[in-house]
C-alpha cells in the first residue's frame, strides 16, 4: 500500500509519497525533494538510501534471511546448482528442462576465448594480480563482439551466457599465466564447475581428478555468492549500466569494485590472518584473547557481517560443506587447524556470542578454497565468477527499466567560496 509522509524543512511542510516493498520495507520517495525545497539528503555510504527498486534479491539482516527471486538460499543450496540458480537470477524463474538445457548449451558454445586473446595474456607481467587480468580481459573480450556496442535486446541471452562462461576461462588462464603453466582449454563434455577445475589443475595430456565433493563444494561457493542485493560491486555495475555501457564494460567495473579488501578481499584477509597467527606459534587462543582485550591491534577477519546482525545464513550452509570437504580430503594443514580453533572458541565464548561475531561465509569459503588448492590471490577471482549472474541480472534490470536515468548523485560542497585569481607574483 502506498501512502505519504510529511516532513518539515526550514519550518515549511512538504508531503512526499511512500511505497511498500513486497517484504514490508517502507521507502520514502524523495525524487522531488530538491526541486521543491532546495535541500538534498546526506547519506555517506548510502546505508539508508534506496538507489533502485529491484526484484532480484531480498535480505533481512536482522533475521538472517537471504532469498533469490523469492527462494530461500538454504533450499537452493540443497536442491539447485549454480547454473540453474544463475538462470533464476537473470530471468526471474527456475528453468524447465528445455530452458536449462538451452542455457547450458549456450554456456558451452561460448566457453572458448577468441584465440587472439592469448596474446593479451602474454602482455601481463608474471606478478600481475589475477583481478587486474580479469577486469582487463573481460573488457578486451567485448572488442571481439562488435554487436555488444549496440546492446540490442535480442543479443542479450548470448552476451549473458558468453560472459558467465568466459569469466571462468579468463580466470583459469590468468592463474596458469601467473604460475608459468600452459593454458588448458575447456572441455565441452564437462559441466560448469568441473570445467573450471579442469582448466585450473589439469596438464596437457593429463586431466586432473575431479572429486565429486570438491566439485560440489566449489559449486556451492559460487551459488552462495551469486547475488547479495545492492553491495558495492553490484551498485557499481548498475551505475555503469545506467550510462548504457555494455554488459562486459559494466561487469569489468564490478570486478574492480570487488577487488577492494573491504569487499571481495575479505576471504583473502581471513587466510592472511591465519598465517599471521601461525607465524607467532599460536593456535588461535592468544589471538582471540588479544581481540577481546583490545591489545596488540588485532583485527578479527571473517567474523560478523555489516548486513547480518544475527548470523550469515550462507555461513550456516557452507560450514556443513566445509566440514565434509576437510573430512573427506583428510587435509593436514596448520592454518586449517587454527581456523577450526577460532571457530570453536568464537561459537561458545560469551564475548563473541553476545556481539554476534559468528563466522561468516568468507571465513568458511576461504578455508574450503585453501583445502582444495586454490591460491590465496585467486580467492577474489572465484568470488567474481560466482557473483557474475547477479551482476548480469542487475544489468538486465537496469536495461529493462524504461524509466531508468543515468546515475548522478548529488553532494554537499564544503570547499572554498568564490574568490579572485591572483597573478603568480602576488601569491604568498
Supply 188's cell numbers: 565441452
Supply 419's cell numbers: 574568490
* Residue 310, SS3 per DSSP: coil
Residue 16, φ and ψ in degrees, nearest 5: -120, 145
Which residues face 18 on adjacent strands? Answer: 3, 28
Closest CA to 361 of 387, 338, 334, 388: 387
How far is it, in rounded angstroms, from Cα 208 to Cα 201? 6
How far is it, in rounded angstroms, from Cα 370 to Cα 331? 10
* Residue 189, SS3 per DSSP: coil
337's CB contacts (< 8 A; 6+ apart) are 283
Question: Is there a contact between 126 and 377 (Cβ–Cβ < 8 Å)?
Answer: no
How far is it, in rounded angstroms, from Cα 210 to Cα 286? 38
Exposure pattern of 67-82 as b/e (b: 16+ CB <10 Å)? bbbebebeebbeebbb
Exposure pattern of 272-284 as b/e (b: 16+ CB <10 Å)? ebbeebbeeebeb
Kindly state the helix (H) or strand (E) to which residue 9 belongs, with its residue range.
strand 3-9
Question: Is there a contact between 366 and 268 (Cβ–Cβ < 8 Å)?
Answer: yes
305, 323, 330, 348: the active-site residue: 305
In total, the chain counts a number of residues equal to: 428
Active-site residue flag, 362:
yes
How far is it, in rounded angstroms, from Cα 273 to Cα 275? 5
Question: Is there a contact between 252 and 63 (Cβ–Cβ < 8 Å)?
Answer: no
349, 362, 377, 401: the active-site residue: 362
Active site positions, annotated: 305, 362
Amino acid at each position: 500500500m502506498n501512502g505519504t509522509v510529511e516532513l518539515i524543512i526550514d519550518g515549511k511542510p512538504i508531503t512526499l509519497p511512500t511505497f511498500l516493498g513486497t517484504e514490508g520495507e517502507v521507502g520514502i520517495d524523495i525524487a522531488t525533494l530538491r526541486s521543491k525545497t532546495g535541500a538534498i539528503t546526506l547519506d555517506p555510504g548510502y546505508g539508508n538510501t534506496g538507489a533502485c527498486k529491484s526484484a532480484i534479491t531480498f535480505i533481512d539482516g536482522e533475521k538472517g534471511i537471504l532469498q533469490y527471486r523469492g527462494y530461500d538460499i538454504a533450499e537452493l543450496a540443497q536442491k539447485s546448482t549454480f547454473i540453474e540458480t544463475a538462470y533464476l537470477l537473470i530471468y526471474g524463474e527456475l528453468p524447465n528442462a528445455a530452458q536449462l538445457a538451452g542455457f547450458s548449451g549456450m554456456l558451452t558454445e561460448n566457453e572458448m576465448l577468441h584465440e587472439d586473446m592469448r596474446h593479451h595474456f602474454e602482455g601481463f607481467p608474471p606478478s600481475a594480480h589475477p583481478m587486474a587480468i580479469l577486469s582487463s580481459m573481460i573488457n578486451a573480450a567485448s572488442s571481439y563482439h562488435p554487436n555488444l556496442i549496440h546492446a540490442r535486446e535480442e543479443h542479450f541471452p548470448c552476451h549473458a551466457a558468453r560472459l558467465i562462461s568466459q569469466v571462468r576461462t579468463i580466470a583459469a588462464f590468468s592463474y596458469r599465466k601467473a604460475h608459468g603453466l600452459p593454458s588448458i582449454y575447456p572441455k565441452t563434455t564437462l559441466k560448469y564447475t568441473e570445467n573450471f577445475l579442469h582448466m585450473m589443475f589439469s596438464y596437457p595430456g593429463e586431466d586432473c581428478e575431479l572429486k565429486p565433493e570438491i566439485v560440489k563444494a566449489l559449486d556451492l561457493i559460487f551459488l552462495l555468492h551469486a547475488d547479495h542485493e545492492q553491495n558495492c560491486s553490484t551498485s557499481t555495475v548498475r551505475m555503469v549500466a545506467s550510462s548504457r555501457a555494455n554488459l562486459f564494460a559494466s561487469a569489468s567495473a564490478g570486478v574492480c569494485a570487488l577487488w577492494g579488501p573491504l569487499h571481495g578481499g575479505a576471504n583473502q584477509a581471513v587466510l592472511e590472518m591465519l598465517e599471521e597467527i601461525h607465524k607467532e606459534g599460536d593456535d588461535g587462543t592468544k589471538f582471540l584473547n588479544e581481540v577481546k582485550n583490545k591489545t596488540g591491534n588485532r583485527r578479527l577477519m571473517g567474523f560478523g557481517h555489516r548486513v547480518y546482525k544475527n548470523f550469515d545464513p550462507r555461513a550456516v550452509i557452507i560450514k556443513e560443506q566445509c566440514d565434509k570437504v576437510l573430512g573427506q580430503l583428510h587435509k593436514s594443514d596448520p592454518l586449517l587447524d587454527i581456523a577450526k580453533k577460532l571457530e570453536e572458541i568464537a561459537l561458545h565464548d560469551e564475548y563473541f556470542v553476545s556481539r554476534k561475531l559468528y563466522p561468516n561465509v568468507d571465513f568458511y569459503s576461504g578455508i574450503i578454497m585453501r583445502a582444495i588448492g586454490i591460491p590465496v590471490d585467486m580467492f577474489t577471482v572465484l568470488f567474481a565468477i560466482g557473483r557474475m549472474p547477479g551482476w548480469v541480472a542487475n544489468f538486465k534490470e537496469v536495461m529493462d527499466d524504461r524509466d531508468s536515468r543515468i546515475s548522478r548523485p548529488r553532494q554537499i560542497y564544503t570547499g572554498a567560496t568564490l574568490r579572485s585569481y591572483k597573478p603568480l607574483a602576488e601569491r604568498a
